[in-house]
Amino acid sequence: MAIDMSQFHQVFFDEADEHLSSMESLLLGMDQSCPQQEDLHAVFRAAHSIKGGAATFGFADMADLTHVLEGLLDEVRRGARALSSDLVDLVLRAKDVLYGMLAAHKGKGEADAAQAGELKAQLEALAAAPAEAAARRAAPEEARHWTLYLEIDVVDGVDIDALLESLAEHGDLSVVQRGEEADKLPWVAVFTSQLDAAEVAESLAFALPQERFRINVDHGVEEEGSFGLFLEAEPEPDASVWLEGDGFGLFEPPPAEAAKRDEALSPAQESDAAKPAARGGALSESSIRVNIDKVDLLLNLVGELVITQSMLTQSGAGLDPVEHERLLGGIGALQRNARELQEAVMSIRMTPIAFVFNRFPRVVRDLAGRLGKRVELTMMGESTELDKGFIEKLSDPLTHLVRNSLDHGIESPEARQAGGKDPVGRLTLRAFHQGSNIVIEVSDDGAGLNRERILAKARQGGLAAPDSLSDAEVWNLIFEAGFSTAAEVTEVSGRGVGMDVVKRNIQSMGGRVEIDSMADIGTTISIHLPLTLAIMDGMSVRIGAETYVMPLGAVLESLQPAPDDIKTVAARGMVVGIRGEYLPIVPLGRFFSIPEAKQAPSEAILVIVEAGNSQLALLVDDLIGQQQFVVKNLETNYRKVDGISGATILGDGQVALILDIAAIARHNQRMALDA
């Protein structure tokens, strides 16, 4: 039966992405004058794995380029070639070209063959040139060899010959038995090289499922000066005896021999490098790759379970708690289990933000070099997790913010020194959880925003910008379409069309953007995002005969005001005094044109909500309750409605609209400015 190789292609694409990202981050983090041997090995293994997988699946362009790249990296890790800045630049360029090739094989555009050919020629020229050897020498590392016995199952569509040829370039490989699919015979080979079992398994796993190959470690070769850390060489067993012996099989030596070998290995257990890995599948923690569509389907089913649980809870609210104690107890248990299940499924979709942050060391390095600036990047909270859907959408907005900080925020070294600052600018990316939100900050220690220049530019563009605006309101003007205070257009920051796109993209994810800036101190731009858009905690309210839902994270408190607390301000409408502060009142019945809704604050309920840096009081008829809601998108079938972010199904089966608090706050601010 033929196997669908497309599933293996996707594994190759995913792992190649990871290897390319790993190569870049390792190279950018290396001390070129004294790189760590472990890092050099990791960069080499990444290139080697990509080459092996590409050759196996017939991606010749990637295999050819990584073959040359791998040779150079092998010289570097052996100390035969020094790690120069020119070589690092060339490897980083190769990473970019390989990424383009990978995208082309995914069906996303076409690779630049001319660029790839030029880069390959440069790599070959560098490889042919006399190499300046690295100052360090690692004799014990060079003396270490492993003899590995490989058993590989026949997999339809996978070229095992090409895979073994790729391995043979790094040691001595002898094929003991060729695989035969008809007879269910696996490939059997003996491989001796400096690559340990983990490295070989990584290469094989790039092209094969881990359950389709086995690796057995025979020994490490000890040379003089190795201090007994590696095992003494023993005569290799005759392959025919292993194949046709007494039933213990090729990869499971007789018990006595196995016990002897385990005993001999015990002194070397302290060294990770000397630990043999018996099978490819045991080389790392167990994991499985699952198509995101399957996770989304599971999440949708959990959402339906939450709706069903809400229906049961609502139906059980009118039952006698004594007479129906067991039923109500079961409904409570179902509610707890549904929440735990939802959290477990959501955790599958959660991805560390490091997947976004890891691209920025390269971005900062390249842009700072082009701008003639010296910038040090600090990343904090890389392990903070957020929804995978956000990960894919965050890259462009964050890139805009980083580019603007480098271009407009951080000054040139000369200007910084003249102002008494360190000539090296500081740029910080930080992520952390705050309640039910995740916050991502982009901070720089540059010149800060210029209030007067922003106001003048806003007025020049026809925006309402009175001097009475607070600093936060002035900073928000830079998110208006086409706004820019740059004296000239640069290649880095463009023509001022980016910041409004940033805000729009963040708002489309249910988030908001805030700015804090001080002259000559720096600027911090904060992105606030919900942990997920699929299921949320909310408060349901009644407006007239309709039910609406407010995101619970935006609700601060609710109250029924006294008549003396209500004031009317000219051109601003009604406000309510709360603890010495006056907040604008937004009657939602008037906002949504619901004639039967209450209009007088003294007869209704005020819900105090927070949107960005501002607070306002939403006037509703009544509070219904707090619970979990499954968010349904409306924009697929309906046009965007101001003040509405989505819909949900209530416990009684009715549909309720979810309020967009930020949009309501923006509408209220516009009305106040226009008045």
- 249-288 confidence digits (pLDDT tens): 334 444 444 444 444 333 333 334 333 333 333 334 556 6
Q: What pLDDT, on a 0 to 100 scale, did the predictor assign at position 228?
A: 34
Hey, CA dihedral for 449, 450, 456, 459, is it positive or negative? positive
Of all helices (H) and strands (E), which one includes residue 555? strand 555-559
Q: What pLDDT, on a 0 to 100 scale, did the predictor assign at position 620?
A: 95
- Domain CATH for 207: 3.30.70.1110
Angle between helices 37-56 and 60-77 (to 10 degrees): 160
Give the count of domains, the chain: 5
Rounded to an integer, the average pLDDT of 18-46 is 84
Angle between helices 360-371 and 6-29 (to 10 degrees): 50
Which residue from 241, 248, 276, 246 is spatially nearest to 262, judged by alpha carbons? Answer: 276
Lowest-pLDDT range of 7-11, 97-101, 248-252, 425-429: 248-252
Are 466 and 494 part of one and the same domain? yes
Which residue from 71, 73, 68, 125 is spatially nearest to 97, judged by alpha carbons? Answer: 68
Q: Give the percent of the chain with pLDDT over 90.
A: 16
Q: What pLDDT, on a 0 to 100 scale, did the predictor assign at position 114?
A: 87
Residue 341 vs residue 230, higher pLDDT: 341
Question: Which of the four pLDDT bands, split at 50, 70 and 90, describes residue 240?
Answer: very low
pLDDT greater than 50 at residue 138? no
* Highest mean pLDDT pick, 16-20, 204-208, 236-240: 16-20
Are 229 and 375 part of one and the same domain? no
Q: What pLDDT, on a 0 to 100 scale, did the predictor assign at position 421?
A: 92
Rounded to an integer, the average pLDDT of 639-658 is 82
Residue 94 maps to a domain: yes
Place of tokens 């023993």: 234
Angle between helices 60-77 and 113-128 (to 10 degrees): 30
Q: What pairs with residue 378 in β-bridges?
A: 428
Tokens of 434: 């705050």
pLDDT greater than 60 at residue 485? no
**Cβ proximity of 619 and 613 under 8 Å:** no
**Cβ proximity of 637 and 654 under 8 Å:** no
Residue 315 maps to a domain: yes
Q: What pLDDT, on a 0 to 100 scale, did the predictor assign at position 34?
A: 82
**Cβ proximity of 163 and 52 under 8 Å:** yes
Neighbour order of strands in the sheet with 573-578: 555-559, 605-611, 614-620, 581-587, 573-578, 566-569
The alpha carbon of 249 is separated from its chain's Cα centroid by a whole number of angstroms, namely 44
Note the residue count of the chain.
Answer: 675
Residue 363 maps to a domain: yes
Residue 345 maps to a domain: yes
Tokens of 10: 């996707």
Q: What pLDDT, on a 0 to 100 scale, did the predictor assign at position 4?
A: 53
**Cβ proximity of 27 and 35 under 8 Å:** no
Q: How far apart are CA 545 and CA 429, in angstroms?
A: 47
**How confident is the prediction for the chain on average, in pLDDT?**
78
Are 76 and 214 part of one and the same domain? no
Q: What pLDDT, on a 0 to 100 scale, did the predictor assign at position 636?
A: 64
Query: Looking only at Cα atoms, what is the longest distance across the chain?
Result: 99
The last residue of one of the domains, among 530, 559, 581, is 530
Range of the domain at 33: 6-128
pLDDT greater than 50 at residue 237? no
Q: What pLDDT, on a 0 to 100 scale, did the predictor assign at position 482?
A: 62
Are 626 and 483 part of one and the same domain? no
Rounded to an integer, the average pLDDT of 518-538 is 84
Q: What pLDDT, on a 0 to 100 scale, did the predictor assign at position 278?
A: 37
623 — alpha (psi -120 to 50), left (phi > 0) or beta? beta
Rounded to an integer, the average pLDDT of 46-52 is 85
- Domain CATH for 14: 1.20.120.160
Are 473 and 557 part of one and the same domain? no
pLDDT greater than 60 at residue 466? yes
Pairing mode of beta strands 385-387, 350-352: antiparallel
Q: What pLDDT, on a 0 to 100 scale, did the predictor assign at position 132?
A: 67
Q: How far apart are CA 350 and CA 597, in angstroms?
A: 41
**Cβ proximity of 387 and 532 under 8 Å:** yes
**What pLDDT digit, counting tens, does each position of 417-431 carry?**
998 999 999 999 999
Residue 275 maps to a domain: no
Residue 156 vs residue 137, higher pLDDT: 156
Question: Which of the four pLDDT bands, split at 50, 70 and 90, describes residue 385?
Answer: confident
**What pLDDT digit, counting tens, does each position of 330-373 carry?**
888 888 888 788 778 878 878 889 888 988 888 898 889 889 99
Are 209 and 304 part of one and the same domain? no
Rounded to an integer, the average pLDDT of 620-632 is 86
Residue 281 vs residue 670, higher pLDDT: 670
Q: What pLDDT, on a 0 to 100 scale, did the predictor assign at position 559?
A: 92
Residue 636 vs residue 455, higher pLDDT: 455
Lowest-pLDDT range of 90-99, 452-461, 491-500: 491-500
pTM of the complete model beyond 0.75: no
Q: How far apart are CA 637 and CA 628, in angstroms?
A: 24
The last residue of one of the domains, among 68, 100, 128, is 128
**What pLDDT digit, counting tens, does each position of 577-593 carry?**
988 888 999 999 999 99
**What pLDDT digit, counting tens, does each position of 285-338 carry?**
556 667 777 887 887 888 788 878 878 887 887 788 888 888 888 888 888 888
User: Phi, psi (5° rounding) for residue 568?
Assistant: -120, 125
278 SS3 class: coil
Residue 389 vs residue 397, higher pLDDT: 397
pLDDT greater than 90 at residue 542? yes
Q: What pLDDT, on a 0 to 100 scale, did the predictor assign at position 261?
A: 40
Question: Which of the four pLDDT bands, split at 50, 70 and 90, describes residue 673?
Answer: low
Are 345 and 364 part of one and the same domain? no
Place of tokens 């925003």: 449
- Tell me, what DSSP letter sits at residue 231? P
Q: What pLDDT, on a 0 to 100 scale, did the predictor assign at position 248?
A: 33
Residue 277 maps to a domain: no
pLDDT greater than 80 at residue 25? yes
User: Where would I find the H helices in 211-359?
Assistant: 239-244, 255-265, 292-316, 325-349, 354-357
The DSSP code sequence of 38-74 is HHHHHHHHHHHHHHHHHHHTT-HHHHHHHHHHHHHHH
Q: What pairs with residue 376 in β-bridges?
A: 426
Q: What pLDDT, on a 0 to 100 scale, did the predictor assign at position 380?
A: 94
Which residue from 555, 659, 562 is spatially nearest to 608, judged by alpha carbons? Answer: 555
The alpha carbon of 380 is separated from its chain's Cα centroid by a whole number of angstroms, namely 14
Q: How far apart are CA 231 and CA 226, in angstroms?
A: 10
Are 599 and 646 part of one and the same domain? yes
Q: What pLDDT, on a 0 to 100 scale, did the predictor assign at position 250?
A: 38
Are 152 and 219 part of one and the same domain? yes
Residue 252 maps to a domain: yes
The DSSP code sequence of 461-523 is TT----TT--HHHHHGGGGSTT----SS-BTTTBTS-SHHHHHHHHHHTT-EEEEEEETTTEE
Are 432 and 485 part of one and the same domain? yes
Tokens of 318: 């009118």
Which residue from 65, 56, 28, 53 is spatially nearest to 43, judged by alpha carbons? Answer: 28
- Domain CATH for 620: 2.40.50.180
Q: How far apart are CA 642 and CA 630, in angstroms?
A: 20
- C-alpha distance from residue 165 to each of 498, 525, 581 (Å): 49, 52, 76
Q: What pLDDT, on a 0 to 100 scale, did the predictor assign at position 436?
A: 67
Q: What pLDDT, on a 0 to 100 scale, did the predictor assign at position 494?
A: 45
Rounded to an integer, the average pLDDT of 61-77 is 88
Pairing mode of beta strands 644-649, 512-518: unpaired
Are 220 and 230 part of one and the same domain? yes
CA dihedral 496, 502, 507, 510 (to 10 degrees): -170
Are 436 and 483 part of one and the same domain? yes
Residue 79 maps to a domain: yes
Q: Which amino acid is at 335?
A: Q
CA dihedral 576, 579, 582, 587 (to 10 degrees): -30
CA Rg, the chain, in Å? Answer: 32
The last residue of one of the domains, among 507, 530, 553, is 530
Which residue from 471, 478, 486, 481 is spatially nearest to 516, judged by alpha carbons? Answer: 471
